[in-house]
Structure 1
């Protein structure tokens, strides 16, 4: 049953099974295990970025395609939901239409980029995607009459997804295990369920004949071409699929934040973070997206707090309080990344599976 759900791609490591089970359990019951605005927000971001990073791993890890336009597709999906919700009203139909338009637009743009540039060498394709992504980011920032410019757009989601919406008043007195049964809880489980479905869909794709051909092209595109596979066709198809899923992840992000802006969806910082998460988790594994995103977002959100505690514990010692100052959390985040690459060159998942 589990093997079928995971498309036959089992973790193949007891430690990895344990880690994935712990992450799944914590995300599935996050509002009840860790009640609080910050912790639930962290869990929702992990769910969304698992999908985003997994969609990028389809390109980089399985297809060997280096692209810097992934945040562009992410932003297109987010803006699609924001614009339809602004003009169509706060209904679920606006969310569905916006997500559909965003995914379709992202796939169409990826098709154009792929057809015109995937025939060139990898480094030139990467530069082309970087140029297009930068141009789109500037366009969204400048087109203030439609996109809100640098200020972005704040929009309303359906009332059932708002914190003012209450349910379970008769059966549970509006609370379950101390957690308020409101629209925010429904929004979280919408994010969690949608992210899980998209991730399982990607897992199915990479373990299908299409995914195996994609891996063969990654290993040796000349040999794949020689035995009859149309390399450009598979690369373009993978690019379009990855873009569409990234746009859907952006739609979920917009629904969760109820806001979209250039800094939250289109910045190069997000693209760099995606690359870091893929490398930390392990390229070409899919499960690496889960591990990499969880480790990175937890470090990003709680490393500064942890360092503050450690600095307070060592305040009587020389040098250590200064080194562990919360203001230096980015330095230590960089150190942790370097150590992870050094000790886990194939990523955490690759190391746990015995890969070098």
Structure 2
């Protein structure tokens, strides 16, 4: 049953299996295991970024397609929910219309970009996607009447997903049974379904052809596969999944702006998560996103504790100052690439 659910792709490493199971349990019961606004928000962000990173790995790790426009698709999904909620009101119909519209527009835009650009060499395609993503980000910032510009959009979501709504009086294990809990599990189960879907795709005949194209596109073309068609299809599917991740992120935050959904910083973060977890493995997205989001949220706090512990020593307190957390995040990334060149998942499987 488990093998069928995971599409035949078992972890193939006891350590990896334990890590994945631990992450699944922690995310599934996060509101009860880690009560608190910040911890639940971190868990929701991990869920969303797992889907975002997995959707990018579908294109890069399996299709061998380098793109810098993934945050653009992510932003389309987020703005789809924001605009639908703004103009249609706080209903589930607005969330559905916004999510589906964002995914369709993202897939259509990816289709246009793919048909016109995927015939060129990889580096030129990457530059084209970077130019288009930058143009869209500037356009969103300037269309303040529609998108809110640099200030973004704040909107209302269904009352049933807000903290004021209570579906049970009292608490369970100290947790209030309110709409925010429902919103978290909406994000969690949606992300779980999307992840299992992508896991199924990459282990289908379509996914096997993508791997063949990644390894040798000339040979794949020679034996009868239309390489451009498969790459365009992978790009469209990846874009739609990224847009759905953006929709879930918008539902969770109840705010959308250029910095939260379209910035180049998010694109760099996605690349780091893919490399840390391991390219060409859906499980790498789980490991990479979890480690990176946890580091983003808690590394500064850990550095403060470490700085206080060595306060009597020379130089070390300055090096461990919380303001230098990006420096140490970069060091951690360099070490992970050096010791795990195929990513954490690849290293664990190779060690087995």
Aligned Cα root-mean-square deviation (Å):
0.8
TM-score, reference length from structure 1: 0.98
Give the Cα separation in 2 of the matches to 1:301 and 1:162.
24
Structure 2 counterpart of 1:66: 66
Q: Name structure 2 gaps, 5 residues minimum.
A: none
How much does 1:355 deviate? 7.2
- Match for residue 195 of structure 1 among 185, 191, 198: 191
Equivalent residue runs for 1:323-338 within 5 Å: 323-338=319-334
Using the TM superposition, name which of 346-355 and 88-97 deviates more. 346-355
Structure 2 counterpart of 1:11: 11
Equivalent residue runs for 1:1-356 within 5 Å: 1-169=1-169, 173=170, 175-354=171-350
Give the Cα separation in 2 of the matches to 1:161 and 1:199.
23
Give the Cα separation in 2 of the matches to 1:244 and 1:325.
41
- The list of structure 1 runs, each at least 4 consecutive aligned residues, that deviate by more than 2 angstroms after superposition, is none
Q: Name structure 1 gaps, 5 residues minimum.
A: none
- The total of aligned residue pairs comes to 352
Give the Cα separation in 1 of the matches to 2:226 and 2:210.
11
Give the Cα separation in 1 of the matches to 2:14 and 2:40.
28
- 1:198-227 deviations in Å (ceiling 9; x for gaps): 000000000000000000000000000000
How much does 1:25 deviate? 0.4
- 1:102-148 deviations in Å (ceiling 9; x for gaps): 00000000000000000000000000000000000001000001000
Classify the secondary structure of the residue corresponding to 1:168: strand
- 1:162-203 deviations in Å (ceiling 9; x for gaps): 11001112xxx2x11000111100000000000000000000
Give the Cα separation in 1 of the matches to 2:223 and 2:147.
47
Give the Cα separation in 2 of the matches to 1:163 and 1:312.
37
How much does 1:299 deviate? 0.6
How much does 1:318 deviate? 1.5
- 1:264-309 deviations in Å (ceiling 9; x for gaps): 0000000000000000000001000000001101111101000000
TM-score, reference length from structure 2: 0.99
Give the Cα separation in 2 of the matches to 1:268 and 1:143.
19
1:187 touches 1:256 (CA, 8 Å); kept in 2? yes
